[in-house]
Amino acid sequence: MSDRAGDIEGAIEAAARAARRAAPALAGLAGGARSALLRDLAAALAEPAIREALLAANREDLARAEREALEPVKRARLALTTGKLESLADGLRQLAAAPELLGAPTLRRELDEGLVLERVPCPLGTLGVVFEARPDAVPQIAGLALKSGNALLLKGGSEALASNRALVAVIHRVLAAHGLPTALVALLERREDFAALLGLDALVDLIVARGSTPFVHHVMASTRIPVMGHAEGLCHVYLHAPCDPAMAARIAVDAKCSYPAACNAVETLLWHADAGVALDACVAALAGAGVELRGCAATRARHPGIAAAQDADWDTEYGALILAIRRVDDLEGALGHIEAHGSRHTEAIVTDDAAAAERFLARVDAADVFHNASTRFADGYRFGLGAEVGISTGKLHARGPVGVDGLLTYRWLLRGRGQVASEYGPGKRAFRHRDLDLE
Amino acid sequence: MSDRAGDIEGAIEAAARAARRAAPALAGLAGGARSALLRDLAAALAEPAIREALLAANREDLARAEREALEPVKRARLALTTGKLESLADGLRQLAAAPELLGAPTLRRELDEGLVLERVPCPLGTLGVVFEARPDAVPQIAGLALKSGNALLLKGGSEALASNRALVAVIHRVLAAHGLPTALVALLERREDFAALLGLDALVDLIVARGSTPFVHHVMASTRIPVMGHAEGLCHVYLHAPCDPAMAARIAVDAKCSYPAACNAVETLLWHADAGVALDACVAALAGAGVELRGCAATRARHPGIAAAQDADWDTEYGALILAIRRVDDLEGALGHIEAHGSRHTEAIVTDDAAAAERFLARVDAADVFHNASTRFADGYRFGLGAEVGISTGKLHARGPVGVDGLLTYRWLLRGRGQVASEYGPGKRAFRHRDLDLE
């Protein structure tokens, strides 16, 4: 190990240790005090002087992005705007108003007279979150961590470094104003910092990794800390007859075009042979919106102008204005295609056939399954979670948009009067196992 | 890869694929039908002919264990008795009567008029469970898997092979009587079978690994499938003054002696200097029960007959009738010792000081934290979960005794009327985000 590597590891370990030590001060606050913190953070984002400082820092990042010819999609993600800051403040206020989950038992059970068990939510402890060059993620993730009583080490995409620093400075100001240690939220600036964090399994309780699927797998393979992966989404919209063509076109355009780089954007449109008219409406609307279409043979037989899709298209997350289109024989065909090619993220059916819709909702194994709604609704803010730390594509702990719930664990607390286990059993005392009301 | 290894991999992949294919038939049953299945399994375990066959198979295993001079603790674990079979049937009936969690929404939220979100529990899919040579785990784990709608691949300790085969045969008989595929529950017989299973991350959703901490870590390092680890427990009992000596002694003896090999048995007794009389009662009772005691200098100053503890004792899970004893300066000292040496499994305080107890309950970071109760209550059956698939020492997904809850994930279902995400936002439609009653 070089001296420099040793220095980095030492510094990151110190930051993680300080964050961990600071966490009980946050978790020990009454819920109202944590909510006040979030409201003050929302207010700070709206203060003209702070807002101007944030936008100025972001202009630095944007200027460098322009010099380095960053792709337009990534520049859009990087840009902070007054509108984005307003949405962020809104989300923080929503989060402040959300019910307090910490400390409120989710189960209370009398095992026997005078022997009462409770299951009580508590913070995970210390979180490490790595995410794309998108500065709006900083207040969102910090808001969720503060609401849930967790300490936080953040590593954002380096293109957003100036913006992230400015945002973390605002968070530190608000923490200090509330008498809390600023070590609760730490910004890691270099790739090596995050690599060092992955080695600290005694100090960090959860890694949230947002980014490409290979990146998420790389993180998972590089640490013994549990990883919640927010990887790519390969989402489908399936048109099943009878199907309103105008609704189909509106959903297809929103799902593809409103933010093509988002993980909840659609990549493949599936259509039942009887839903050809709805397909036609989608093709016209998507072509009009500048989307490049790639179809199977049956699709091209109906729309000869469409390019031919290759096998690889069914497995590609374009993240751009490109859409693959495939005809399926029936609902089972759609379910089979989604099972084989979907990423278990978000899948939607558009149909007026209520029974087919319910079959689709019951059968698709994905985090989010929608009927007559755009895949783009798969989002913590839209789901009313206040914000999201990511969209989990794993099945364990948290699935889909991850809000406060996903940053909590629980403890089982048992209060007795000296009972021992060997008093109970066949021929001895029996457990009562009576659930008590939660107040 | 040798032909034989290839054969094994092919066979295990086929078993996993068959289990996965069979799962929807189970998950699609009404809850009542899954409960009837469990009641029939309970009844089968009580049928004289079946019971005799099970005990006969178990005698085979016990005879081999005797020939191979298996340790007495392990032989006790291996033995099936009429009493154990009765407890198992009891647990299955408790599980059958437990509320149905599958399919009942845990959240229903109106995002906007005619746009309703539900969060609905569903099975994880296919489980792989590896566990010690303890045949009673077979019906417990199978019961939880069947209740939760999951397919199951089981690998038990090889010393229990004849017993496990006999138990799985009973389960298959009951599945077949209910018209369900027997592929839902498969027994893996060889170590290589389980190794092959770990490679099937596209087919298996969760591995539950029970065993020693190094074994659990080995499993985690050998697979990309999420692993729920049930590792060792290094549990403490802390005596804080004022403390009833008789209660302290009763709890210490139960926590150490009722099943020393259990993960929820106590390994270290901590005592506050003011709780010396309670310590004396514990020392007398434990010595009387044949427990070997190892103490710190302060403990030995009071009880010179006790052997000297070494540093390693504070980090050792004896799993036997040995107990380490250490004096701490105060509650903070106890918390510090537990933080440094505990395994986040189960920790107990014995005291009449309610404020100290509540501080202990609030501060200890462990799955189970108890006041005036034996650590041995940390158990799915005793907690009223019907049974347990293991006791999770991780913080994610499930913590402590894992029952049906821990074998479920959820999906977000959204039903709309053609809404699209770009209709909403600043200056456009606002979300309503109103929680609806769960019926």
B376 to chain A, any CB pair closer than 8 A? The answer is yes
Q: Is 90 exceeded by the pLDDT of residue A262? A: no
Residue of A nearest to B433 (CA): A384
Q: Is B11 on the interface with A (CB under 8 A)?
A: no
Contact B412 A357 (CB under 8 A): no
Res A422 pLDDT > 70: yes
Q: Please judge whether B396 and A374 are an interchain contact, meaning their C-beta atoms are less than 8 angstroms apart.
A: no
pLDDT at B163 over 80: yes
Q: Is B88 on the interface with A (CB under 8 A)?
A: no
Closest partner residue to A371 among B365, B412, B415, by Cβ? B415
Place of tokens 């390092």: B221
Q: Is the pLDDT of residue B439 over 90?
A: no
Average pLDDT, chain B: 94
Are B411 and A418 inside 8 Å of each other by CB? no
A115 interfaces chain B, CB cutoff of 8 Å: yes
Q: How confident is the model at residue A365, as a pLDDT?
A: 92
DSSP 8-class letter at B389: S
Two structure tokens written together for A409: 């664990």
More confident residue, A389 or B269: B269
Q: Do A411 and B366 touch (CB under 8 A)?
A: yes
Which of A344, A306, A346 lies closest to A326 in space, CA to CA? Answer: A306
Residues contacting A432, CB < 8 A, separation 6+: A110, A111, A112, A113
Lowest average pLDDT, out of A201-205, B171-175, B309-313, B332-336, goes to: A201-205
The answer to whether B416 faces chain A, any CB pair under 8 Å, is: yes
Task: Determine the Cα–Cα distance for residues B229 and B215; give it in Å rounded to an integer.
Answer: 9
User: What's the mean per-residue pLDDT of chain A?
Assistant: 94
Q: Judge whether residue A31 has pLDDT over 80.
A: yes
What is the CA angle B112-A386-A86, rounded to 5? 90
In angstroms, what CA-CA distances link A340 with A235, A308, B150?
12, 20, 20
Question: ipTM score here?
Answer: 0.91
Contacts of B205 in chain A (CB under 8 A): 395
pLDDT(B3) > 80: no
CB-based contact, B14 to chain A, within 8 Å: no
Phi, psi of A2 (to 5 degrees): -70, 160
Collect all residues of chain B within an 8 Å Cβ-Cβ radius of residue A357. 415
- pLDDT for residue A1 is more than 60: no
Picking from A397, A414, A416, the nearest residue to B368 by CB comes out as: A414
Q: What is the mean pLDDT of residues B250-279?
A: 96
Taking contacts as CB-CB distances below 8 angstroms, the residues of chain A near B247 are 418
A417 touches chain B (CB under 8 A): yes
Substitution target from B420, B429, B433 for chain A, most A beta carbons within 10 A: B420
DSSP A267: E
Task: Select, from the ranges A375-389, B21-35, B167-181, the one with the highest average predicted confidence (pLDDT).
Answer: B167-181
Q: Among residues 184-223 of chain B, which lie with CB inside 8 Å of chain A?
A: 205-206, 217, 220
pLDDT at residue B35 in the model: 96
User: What single string gives the DSSP state of each residue in A324-387?
Assistant: EEEEESSHHHHHHHHHHH--SSEEEEE-S-HHHHHHHHHH--SSEEEEEE-GGG-STTTTTSSS
Name chain A contacts of B422, Cβ cutoff 8 Å.
254, 258, 376
Residues B70-96 have a mean pLDDT of 90
Assigned CATH for A235-377: 3.40.309.10
pLDDT given for residue B6 in this prediction: 82
Question: B23-58 pLDDT, tens per residue?
Answer: 999 998 988 999 999 999 999 999 999 999 999 999
Helix (H) or strand (E) holding A54: helix A48-67
CB neighbours of residue B315 within 10 Å: 14
Q: Are B426 and A381 in contact (CB under 8 A)?
A: no
What would the two tokens of residue A161 be?
A: 């470094």
Q: Which among B377, B408, B432, B436 is the top mutation candidate for probing chain A, defined by the most A β-carbons within 10 Å of its own β-carbon?
A: B377
B409 contacts on A by Cβ (under 8 Å)? 395-396, 399
> Which chain B residue lies closest to A340 (C-alpha atoms)?
B202
The band of A2, judged by pLDDT with boundaries at 50, 70 and 90, is low
Closest to A40 in 3D by CA, of A146, A131, A132, A156: A146
User: Which of B224, B251, B384 faces A111 most closely, judged by CB atoms?
Assistant: B384
pLDDT in tens, A385-395: 877 888 888 89
Distance from CA of B34 to the nearest CA of A (A): 18
**Would you report the helix, strand and coil content of chain A in percent, each value rounded to 5?**
45, 20, 30
What distance in Å separates the CA atoms of residue B248 and residue B271, rounded to the nearest whole number? 10
pLDDT at residue B386, rounded to an integer: 74
Whether residues A426 and B86 touch (CB distance < 8 A) is answered with yes
CA distance A72 to A74: 5
Q: CB-based contacts of A55: which residues, under 8 Å, 6+ apart?
A: A80, A82
Give me the pLDDT at residue B282, please: 98
Looking at the complex, does the CB of residue A112 fall below 8 Å from at least one CB of chain B? no
pLDDT tops 60 at residue B1: no
What is the pLDDT at residue B390?
86
Per-residue pLDDT reduced to its tens digit, B310-345: 999 999 999 899 999 999 999 999 999 999 999 999
Residue B85 has pLDDT above 70, yes or no: yes
Contact state of B382 with A413 under an 8 Å Cβ cutoff: no
For residue A397, give the nearest of B363, B396, B431 by CB distance. B396
Q: Would you state the pLDDT for residue B279?
A: 98
Residues 6 or more apart whose CB falls under 8 angstroms from that of B363 comprise: A24, B335
Tokens of A214: 């290979």
For chain B, the farthest-separated pair of C-alpha atoms sits apart, in whole angstroms, at 80
Name the amino acid, one letter, at A120: V
CATH topology of domain B3-99+120-231+393-400: Aldehyde Dehydrogenase; Chain A, domain 1 (3.40.605)
Contact (CB<8Å) B422/A258: yes
Give the gap in angstroms from C-alpha B67 to the nearest C-alpha of chain A.
Answer: 31
Binned at pLDDT 50, 70 and 90, residue B22 comes out as very high
Query: pTM, whole model, 2 decimals?
Result: 0.90
- Banded pLDDT at B232 (limits 50, 70, 90): confident
Residue B250 with chain A: CB contacts under 8 Å: 418, 420
Contacts of residue A117 in chain B, CB cutoff 8 Å?
A: 383-384
CB contact under 8 A, B399 and A379: no
Instruction: Give contacts of B416 with chain A, Cβ < 8 Å.
Output: 370-373, 377
Q: pLDDT at position A5, please?
A: 75
Q: What is the pLDDT of residue A224?
A: 87
The span from the CA of A67 to the CA of A71, in Å, is 11
Return residue ranges of chain A for CATH 3.40.309.10.
Answer: 235-377
CATH class of this structure's domain A3-231+393-409: alpha beta
Q: Is the pLDDT of residue B421 over 70?
A: yes
Spell out the long-range contacts of B45-48 with Cβ–Cβ below 8 A and sequence spacing 24 or more: B45/B85, B45/B88, B45/B89, B45/B92, B45/B139, B45/B170, B46/B85, B46/B86, B46/B89
Does the structure show a pLDDT above 70 at A125? yes
Q: Answer whether B412 sits within 8 Å of A431, measured CB to CB.
A: no
Residue B2: the pLDDT is 58
Interface of B with A in 346-375 (CB under 8 A): 350, 357, 361, 363-374
Nearest to B217 by CA among B205, B198, B201, B231: B231
Determine, for residues A251 and B422 on separate chains, whether the beta-carbon distance falls below 8 Å. no
Any residues with CB less than 8 A from the CB of B382 and at least 6 apart, and which?
A: A111, A421, A424, A431, B376
For range A352-371, the mean pLDDT: 96
A363 and B226 in contact by Cβ < 8 A? no
pLDDT surpassing 90 at residue A427:
no
Q: Do B415 and A255 touch (CB under 8 A)?
A: no
Closest Cβ opposite residue A418 in set B251, B401, B420: B251
Least confident of A67-81, A294-308, A355-369, B117-131: A67-81
What pLDDT, on a 0 to 100 scale, did the predictor assign at position A3?
A: 67
Residue B176: the pLDDT is 98
Q: How many angstroms separate the CA atoms of A271 and A235, rounded?
A: 14
Is B230 or B370 the better-scoring residue by pLDDT? B370
Chain B partners within 8 Å of A422 (Cβ): 254, 258, 376
Element (H, E) at A392: strand A390-392
Q: Which residues of A touch B400 (CB under 8 A)?
A: 411-412
pLDDT (average), residues B413-431: 94
B-facing residues of A in 239-298 (CB < 8 A) are: 244, 247, 250-251, 253-255, 258
Nearest CA in chain B to A259: B422
Share of chain B above pLDDT 70, in %: 99
For chains A and B, what is the number of CB pairs under 8 angstroms?
214
CB contact under 8 A, B382 and A115: no
